[in-house]
Amino acid sequence: MTLHKIAIPILGEEIVPRFDLTTEVIILTTAKNLCIQDKKIIVLPRSSSDELCHTLLAQEINTLICGAIEDEYYEFLKWKKLHVFDGVSGTWPHAFERWQTQTLNPGDILFIRMVEGNLI
């Protein structure tokens, strides 16, 4: 059975807007049918892009869904063969669901848009 590991840096339920300011990462392991086999949250001692990259490699992550990331780290992770969806904002379950249905794209904004309490 081929397992696929997805990492999403989070802040509560939402994807943290900045990769370098992440202190919590949710790691989802899916089977071939893309259903979640395992879910765990790693809490980092401090926010650091270097340490987070190291964690992702140590955890053998295949796909990263994150917010804003500096080009240096983006290129590094791509070079390390990670599939990176950056610039994604919204809740992590929503982003994961889009990934499962193969409708997630880098830069996707998944929030419900509201101004002064009204949907727009």
Partner 1 sequence: MQSFPEIHRLMRSPLDFAHILDEIPLGILVMDKDLRVVHLNRFFQALTGFSLDMARGIPCKNVLRSSACILNCPVLATHRKDRSISCTSDMINTDRQKLPVRITTAQIMDTQGHLTGYIETIEDLRSSATNDPEKNVAYSFANIIGRSRKMEMIFQTLPMLAQSDASILITGETGTGKDLVAEAVHQTSQRAGGPFIKINCGALPETLLESEIFGHMKGAFTGAVENKPGRFKLAHNGTIFLTEIGDLPLPLQVKLLTFLDDRIIYPLGATKGFNANVRIIAATHRDLESMVSIGKFRKDLLFRLNVARVHLPPLRERGADIRLLLDHFLNNYTKKQGKKINGFSEPALSVLLNYTYEGNIRELKNIMEYAVNVAQGTRIEADNLPAYILDYEPVQQRLKMPAAEDVTQTQSEQPQMPESRQTGETGQTWSSVQRQMIMNALKTARGKKNKAAQILGMSRSTLWRKIKEYQIE
Residues at the contact surface with partner 1, assessed by CB under 8 A: 11, 16-18, 20-21, 67-71, 74, 86-87, 89, 107, 109, 111-117, 120
**Phi and psi at residue 101, to the nearest 5°:** -90, 10
Least Å from the CB of residue 1 to partner 1: 35
What does the alpha-carbon distance between residue 93 and residue 116 come to, in Å, rounded to a whole number? Answer: 25
Residues in the chain: 120
Which residue, 38 or 50, is less far from partner 1 as judged by CB? 50
> Please, what is the minimum distance in Å from the beta carbon of residue 35 to partner 1?
29
- Distance (Å, whole) CA 106 – CA 66: 9
Q: Taking the complex as a whole, how short is the minimal distance between the CB of residue 13 and partner 1, in angstroms?
A: 12
